[in-house]
């Protein structure tokens, strides 16, 4: 952890006994169900300013409390996912704060591999591909669609032209600036229902 201009070991690795741990202003000894360890002193920090001075801690603006960050609490996916404030990051293989417990756009966009900021609802949510593992659940979510064996964000919910153009399954409609599913991936009924697509005798949909 970075503190007062110096890189130091985080509290769980710094001390193995309560006396030394509690003597350090950045740490406090914890005992939960007989499991004891040296933790960050997050609970003692009364506001966001003091909370964020300790890089082991994170301020929860909803509960107005300073909590130990998820990656300092859990090492396994089972324990991590059992905490409703945390989630397992399959990309990094670590425990991190759950997307739905992130309340600022900046923090959400700082976790782009697993979270995305929804402008319409001004909220942070888990990326569709990590939200659902089956087509039924994915398809009933207005933000997601099932394609090629996986759940992905709908083209219409992509928020920038760059996001749209970088997605091979989406097409930017230049006349309106809207992002939509490429006609080539549309079924016949969807193709016929879109005025920008044409269904050909060769049973293909084209722009």
**Residue of 81, 83, 35, 25 whose CA lies nearest to 56:** 25
Tell whether the torsion through CA atoms of 91, 83, 108 and 172 is positive or negative.
positive
How far is the CA of 57 from the CAs of 3, 20, 114, 143, 200, in angstroms?
12, 20, 21, 32, 59
The mean pLDDT of 56-62, rounded to a whole number, is 85
What is residue 5's predicted lDDT score, i.e. its pLDDT? Answer: 61
What is residue 151's predicted lDDT score, i.e. its pLDDT? Answer: 92
Q: Which two tokens stand for residue 142?
A: 């207005």
- Residue 98, pLDDT above cutoff 90: yes
Task: Tokens 């991190």: give the residue.
Answer: 96
- Residue 1, pLDDT above cutoff 60: no
Phi/psi at 56 (5° precision): -85, -10
At 112-151, the pLDDT tens digits run 889 999 888 889 999 999 999 899 999 899 889 888 889 9
At 3-48, the pLDDT tens digits run 556 677 777 778 788 888 778 777 778 777 777 878 777 877 888 8
- Residue 95, pLDDT above cutoff 90: yes
What is residue 4's predicted lDDT score, i.e. its pLDDT? Answer: 54
Torsion of CA 163, 168, 170, 171, to 10 degrees: 90
Cβ–Cβ < 8 Å for 174, 191: no
* Degrees to nearest 5, angle at CA 205 with 185 and 189: 85
At 185-198, the pLDDT tens digits run 777 777 777 777 87
How far is the CA of 120 from the CAs of 123, 126, 144, 158, in angstroms?
8, 15, 14, 11
Separation between Cα atoms, residue 199 and residue 3, nearest integer Å: 63
Separation between Cα atoms, residue 120 and residue 90, nearest integer Å: 27
More confident residue, 4 or 77: 77
The mean pLDDT of 194-203, rounded to a whole number, is 78
* Predicted TM-score (pTM) of this structure: 0.67
Q: Is 135 helix (H, G, I), strand (E, B) or coil?
A: helix
Task: Tokens 């985080």: give the residue.
Answer: 10
DSSP track, 171-200: EEETTTTEEEE-GGG--HHHHHT-TT-EE-
Answer left, alpha or beta for residue 169, where phi above 0 means left and psi between -120 and 50 means alpha: alpha
């Amino acid at each position: 952890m970075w503190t007062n201009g110096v890189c130091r070991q985080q509290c769980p690795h710094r001390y193995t006994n309560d006396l030394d741990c509690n003597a350090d202003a950045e740490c406090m000894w914890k005992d939960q169900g007989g499991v004891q360890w040296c933790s960050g002193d997050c609970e003692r920090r009364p506001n966001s300013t003091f909370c964020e001075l300790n890089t082991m801690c994170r301020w929860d603006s909803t509960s107005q409390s300073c909590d130990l960050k998820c990656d300092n609490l859990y090492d396994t996916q089972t324990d991590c996912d059992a905490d409703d404030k945390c989630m397992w990051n399959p990309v990094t293989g670590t425990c991190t704060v759950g997307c739905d417990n992130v309340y600022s756009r900046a923090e959400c966009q700082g976790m782009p591999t697993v979270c995305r900021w929804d402008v319409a609802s001004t909220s942070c949510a888990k990326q569709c591909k990590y939200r659902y593992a089956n087509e039924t659940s994915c398809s009933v979510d207005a933000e997601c669609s099932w394609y090629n064996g996986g759940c992905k964000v709908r083209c219409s919910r992509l928020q920038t032209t760059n996001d749209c153009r970088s997605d091979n399954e989406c097409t930017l409609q230049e006349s309106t600036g809207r992002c939509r599913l490429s006609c080539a991936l549309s079924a016949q009924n969807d193709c016929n229902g879109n005025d920008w697509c044409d269904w050909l005798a060769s049973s293909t949909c084209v722009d």
